Structure 1
Amino acid sequence: MNRVTIATDYYQGTGKIKRNFQKALKIFKVAARHLPEEIYKADKIEITQKDLEFHPKSEKISYAARAAAYIGQMYWRGEGVEANEIEARKWYQRSAKMGYSAAINALGVMYKYGYSQLKQDEDLAIKYFIAASNKGNPDAQTNLGRILVESNNVENKISAYNLFQQASKLGNIVASYNLAHFYLSGEIVPENCVFSASLYKTVAERASYYDELFEEAKLDLRRRDYNAALLKYIILSEQGYEMAQSNAAYLIDEGLASVDSIFYNEPNPYSIALIYWKRSANQLNSDARVKVGDYFFYGLGTDEYMEEEVTESDESSSDDDTENDDNDNGQEKEEKKSSKEEEKEKEAKKEEKKHETGTTEMDESTRHEIKNSMLRLSQKIAGRLFGKQGTPDYSIAFGYYQAAADNEKSSLAMWNLAFMYEYGIGVKKVK
């Protein structure tokens, strides 16, 4: 593990490492010494367009530039050291000289608002935001989008929408908020209040840093008291927190927590997990969508779901069928007889064709048998891994995979769809 990773753990704090700004700063400064000497020791650094587009080939320099950006951030915020905007700017410039996008974005913010004794210059700020945005930095994409959205130019607003969309996918909360406004207003894109509400909900959940129960659940996880954590996540799930829903489902799915201590009547744990995976999927969690698809593909906890799907029409149709049984028996026998004769003729023709052409192509029945063998094998493996199974429903599984592939571009969902198309599972086979 390199120094920058260790320093980042101390800076952010992890399950095993308590946050310690002083220790993080000390390690970051050691890592930053790998910057070129003329940059590391310089007090005045001029950033050129070539620097903004620079991509270091050396891994050590890349980590050193990242470390320098963290040092700049800590001086700017006063984390583990007395706040000092001038010192922050120097470290950001050292990092930006090596093309590090976060430092470039930070300098853009300084120029936009005139921080660190810099002359306010929005044009120069935009130049920095564009450079960092081109490197995929979500903060820069958001900052640039916020400038463009204030323009009356339609093309600028479209560019702002695209930037917010990219940044939102990378987890930028401000970008999600601005994107939600686009869908609410119907400006540039068609009005979509449902999607707008889901984005606002994401912002509300993640920007407020959650309910206190989230912190308590984290402590339970650190103590490996998974049952206590599950209870808290279920309470938060009922309040609508998507993260809690996916976490509750995960704890049950992995067998880390027991549902017996929370629910009566010894429920199938996978039927409970399926409930929370579905709720998380309905809040646009792509991994949860794939998980729901997996549950229906393998029949995990699906019996309870299937029982709800039974319709009255199935029951009422049975009476009508019994009345017509006697009338239809004779006709059915004749049809079966003729169909058997037709099948025999087809088989005979196939055999003749094989002998004439000398080919050994796999016929449809063989392909069908291979497909069924693969499904039986997957069901057997799933049974050993997960225990009790329910009834698979490939069409529902296909629907969830399709949604995850179309809406969130999930690569795993795409692979699952390809598998189902190849073998005709739940969908018409496509070669």
Structure 2
Amino acid sequence: MSHAFRILLLFLAILTALPAAAQGPDGDRPGAPKVEEALPRRFGQRAPDEAFGAYQRGLYVTARNLAEPRAELGDSAAQVLIAEIYSRGLGVKRDEAEAAKWYSRAAERGVSEAQFQYAMMLLDGRGVKRDNKQAFALMEEAANAGNRLAQFNFAQMVLSGEAEPTPEALTRAVGYFEKAADQKLADAEYAMAEVYANGVGGRTADEAMARSFLERAARQNYDTAQLEYASWLIAGRGGKRDAVAGFAWMKRAAEGGNVAARNRLAKLYVAGIGVEGDPIAGAAWYLRAQRAGLRDPEMDDHLAGLTEAQLKAAEDQADKLR
């Protein structure tokens, strides 16, 4: 097995091992969000008009009451709306069993959002008995119908179904990551950046393409992509070197809460890369990372070399950083 293949398998193992939208210890977000914004198209071909209007205005009990008669008659859009209300506990007590019932009914009628949500419930055993086989089938169906979250999650399922994914499984998974990336899912764009950076899954290594995917994900506020894109800009990897832009992206990731980015930003300040050197600002950002549990011997040495007045200034500045 090639080194690049092992690297990507490790990356994808992180994706599959953590729940969607999970936050890693250094501020990374290796999974995908489980829920899209509330838009009419998510509820099927025909949104439950008045009920959906009430839902949008936050009148959730009214929305449920308006949707229930139509849901009982087989209106799949109304069924999904009711499922959402119970799944999130909007205006009612959260009831995952009730949500699963309505998602299941809508899934049977081919609504991809319901198929995706019910598949997630089957995987987790939430409100319904765990059933990985049915979840796999429903997720694939939703993915093939064009649901971008289903595409991303199905790619993960393809890989997690084997102790060590075969090249064939990886190629299949990458195809679904690409479909989700084409629909601008940031998590999938980041995954495709890793694919092209390592040249696996049937794709030839292409650092320019990888950098393009990193930028796309970064512009959607995906903090891990912002950190990596910043690093690539500073190193001139996959394109022209631009330390100033790299610094700006690293700062954006750091301000967004990415702990690793805070530490790297600190080093950029200390070294004066992409910004005028500022040992106090560097120390301040490292203190923020340190408070979150990150330790870096190099930056510890930097702190140790500051005067008492400088350290106090850095601590005061760190307290003001967001």
TM-score (norm 2): 0.45
- Higher-Rg structure is 1
Query: Relative contact order (C-alpha < 8 Å, sep 6+): which is higher?
Result: 2
TM-score (norm 1): 0.35
